Structure 1
C-alpha cells in the first residue's frame, strides 16, 4: 500500500473513528486528514518512507508513529503542541528526543514527581524520552503512579521491537495521566490540606528500556489553585 490510497476515495472515510496505516509504504499523510472529524485513533507505525504529516485530526487522542525513521522533525514537532495535549486525553508515541519548554518540570532518572494538596489536579500531562538498548527484545514500558509511596495506578503499553543492526531511534511517549487506570477515583479523594507526593515512574518487562528524560505538566484549571501544586519539597 502506498500514496495511491490518498486518491479521491480517501475523503469518503471521514466518518471513521480509527485508522491503521502501519507497515505501509506511504510517504505523507495529506492535509485532508484534518477533515476526519471523528478520528480518535491513528497508527502509522513502521512506515519507513513516511516523511510528512500535514495535519492532525481535531479529535485525535491515540497516535502511534513507532519507528518512522524518515519522519521530518517539523512533522514530529506538531504533536508536541501544548494546546493539543491540554484539550484532550492524549496517548501519543512518535520519533523525537526533546522535552518542550511548556513542561513545568523536567528531569532524568527513574521517576519524576510533584506535590499537591486538597484535590488531585484535573489534568496532568507526562512525557518520557524512550530508547532501546538491545534490539532483539520486544519492549514493554509500563508507566506507574504512586501517591505517598503507594501504587495507585499503572498502564501497560507495548512499545516496539527493533531488528538487528538497526540504529537506535529515540521516541517521545506523551500521555495524559488520566489514561492510567487508578485503583480509585482520584478526583473524589477526601479533601485534605496536607501535601501529598505524586511520583510517576515506569517499569519495563525487560532491562532493555532506557528513559533518557522525563517531563511533567499540571494544567491550570478554574477548580484548582496553582498554590496547591509544588514541584519541590514543600515542607
Structure 2
C-alpha cells in the first residue's frame, strides 16, 4: 500500500550502495489509502535500472518530472499529469503491445510518436474527458482502438497507411463530428458503432469498404452526407456493391432528406432500423433496396407516409403504437406477399380461439377521388361491430392502407370461450369499392395455432373421415355415389 511516505522510502532505498545496480520492479497498490500522496515528482530520477512500474490506484499532488528510460512496463492508473516527462524516451519499449490512457482526466494531447508504435496491438484512451486531439496513426499491428467517453474529442484520428487487423470500432459518448476519408485504410473493418455522439458527417470512402457489414449510429444528434461527396459515394457504392447488410440509425434525428439521398447508397442492406427517428415520409427509393428483408421503425411519431415497399420485404416491424392502432398509407396496386391471407374484394374471414389475435388489416383502394372515408365492420359469431369512420385524403392513385392493431377499433367484443370464433371483416369505402383485402398476424401478440383461415370444423371432419376404417370409407362412398345416380 502506498502512503505519503512511500516515495521517500523508495528514495532512501535507492541511496543504499549497490541497490541501483540491480533490476528493479515496483508495484504500488493504493486502494486502501484515500488521501493524497504528496511528492515532488522526482522519486524515479535515480532509478536507472527500473524495469517495471505499476501504480494501480492513488491520488498524487503532481505528475512525475522524470521516468527512467530503462522501463519495459509502465502502467499508471489515474495518471496525474496531462503529459509524460519531456526527457522520457523509453527505447526498451520497442515491443510495446498495449498502451492505455484510460480515465486520464487531465490528458489534453497525446504525443505524435504514439501514432507510429508499429508493435502496438491495443490502444485505449477511454474516459479522457479533456482530450481534444488525437495524432494521426500508422499502427500496422493494432487490433483494438477505444475512444469512448472522451467528451472533448471531436475528430477521429487520420489513418496514414493500411491497418489490416482492426475489425471493429465501438465509440460511445464521444462527440466525433466527422469520420475521415482515410478510414478506408482500416481494410478489414467489419463493424462501426457510434453511440451517444454529435452530428456525424460520413465520408464517401466508407461506401467502398469491402469488409464492412454492420453500420450502427444510435442516439446521436444527426447524420450528414457531404453534398460534395454524394456523387462520388454513389459511384463508389455502385462499383464496389457496398456490402453493409445491417444498418441501424435509431434515435439519431434522421431526416427524410438524408433517407432520400442516403438509402440508395446502402444497396445491399438486409436489415434496417429507424426507431425513434424524425422523418415524416419513408421515400420511394426504399423500393430500390432489393435485398432488404426487415424494417423496424417503432416510436417514429412523425411518420405519415410510406411511399414504397422493397420487393423482398419479410418483416415490417412494428407498425403499431403501444396505446392503439395506427394507419399506414403506401402507394401500390396489391397487398404485400408477407400477409398470411388475402383475397380480391372487400370482405375476408378467419377463425380464432381463446383471445382475439393481434392483426393488421390491409386494403387496396382504387384511386378515383381526392377525398374519401373508410370504416370496418366485424361480425363475430353473428354479432356485428362497427369501427369509427377514418378519413383519407389524396387518393388520386391506387392506395394500399395497412391498419395495425385492428382490434383497438372495437370495444366490448363478445367471444365464445374455449371454442372457435368465426370472424368476418368487411371494409366499406365511400364512394368507391375496394379492390383487395388481406390479414397479417403480428406473431408477438398472437398464438398462430389459435388462428385459422379455413373452417377448422371442416378440417376436423376431414381428419375424422380419413381416420375411419377402410370398410366404412367404402360404404360412405357407395352411398354418395348411389344418391348421385338416383
Same fold (TM over 0.5): yes
Aligned residues of 2:335 and 2:362 also touching (Cα < 8 A): yes
Question: How far 1:190 moved relative to its partner?
Answer: 6.5
Q: What runs of 5+ residues in structure 1 fail to find an aligned partner?
A: 1-7, 69-75, 163-167
TM superposition shift of 1:59: 1.7
* C-alpha spacing 1:221/1:180, structure 2 compared with 1 (3 Å): closer
SS in 2 for 1:28: helix
Deviation at 1:29, TM superposition (A): 5.9
User: Residues 27 and 210 from structure 1, CA distance in 2 versus in 1: closer, same or farther, beyond 3 angstroms?
Assistant: farther
Check whether the contact 2:361–2:406 (CA below 8 A) recurs between aligned residues.
no
Aligned length: 195
Q: Which residue of structure 2 aligns with residue 234 of structure 1?
A: 456
Q: 1:210 aligns with which of 424, 433, 437?
A: 433
User: What are the equivalent positions in structure 2 for 1:147-158 lying under 5 Å apart?
Assistant: 147-152=380-385, 154-158=387-391
Check 1:149–1:177 CA distance in 2 against 1; reply closer, same or farther (3 A cut). farther
Contact 2:346 2:433 in 1 (8 A): no
**Does 2:371 align with 1:138?**
yes
Task: State yes or no: 1:83 paired with 2:322.
Answer: no
- Distance (Å, rounded) in 2 between the aligned partners of 1:15 and 1:175: 24
CA distance in 2, matches of 1:103, 1:200: 15
CA shift, 1:104, in A, is: 2.0
Deviation at 1:154, TM superposition (A): 1.5
Q: 2:276 aligns with which of 32, 38, 42?
A: 38
CA distance in 2, matches of 1:10, 1:119: 42
Residue 58 (structure 1) aligned with residue 304 (structure 2): no
Unaligned runs of 5+ in 2: 1-200, 202-220, 225-249, 264-271, 321-325, 458-486
- Choose between structure 1 and 2: higher strand proportion: 1
Using the alignment, how far apart are the partners of 1:11 and 1:159 within structure 2?
A: 33
Q: In the alignment, which of 171, 187, 195 is matched to residue 420 of structure 2?
A: 195
Task: Name the CA distance, whole Å, in 2 between partners of 1:128 and 1:43.
Answer: 22
Q: TM-score, structure 1 length as denominator?
A: 0.62
Distance 1:199 1:59 in 2: 29
**Conserved 8 A contact 2:359-2:407:** no
- What's the CA shift for 1:146? 2.9
Residues 380 and 415 in structure 2, CA contact (< 8 A), matched pair in contact too = no
Match of 1:177 in 2: 405
How many angstroms does 1:95 deviate by? 0.5
TM-score by length of 2: 0.33
Contact 1:44 1:65 in 2 (8 A): yes
Query: Deviation string for 1:67-124 (max 9, x for gaps)?
Result: x6xxxxxxx1239844224x44153111011223322221112211101122222x21
Give, in whole Å, the separation in 1 of the partners of 2:423 and 2:275. 35
Alpha carbons of structure 1 residues 143 and 10: separation in structure 2 relative to 1, 3 Å: farther
CA–CA distance in 1 between the matches of 2:342 and 2:437? 6
Shift of 1:212: 1.1
Q: Which residue of 2 aligns with 1:97?
A: 333
Task: Rate the CA distance shift 1:193–1:140 in 2: closer, same or farther, 3 A.
Answer: same
Change (3 A) 1:174 1:150: same
Structure ranking higher in helix proportion: 2
1:173 offset after TM fit, Å? Answer: 0.7
Larger Rg: 2
CA distance in 2, matches of 1:91, 1:210: 19
Secondary structure of the structure 2 residue equivalent to 1:232: coil
Kindly indicate whether the alpha-carbon contact (under 8 Å) linking 1:153 and 1:183 is maintained by their aligned counterparts in 2: no
Match of 1:128 in 2: 363
- Distance in 1 (alpha carbons) for counterparts of 2:387 and 2:311: 24
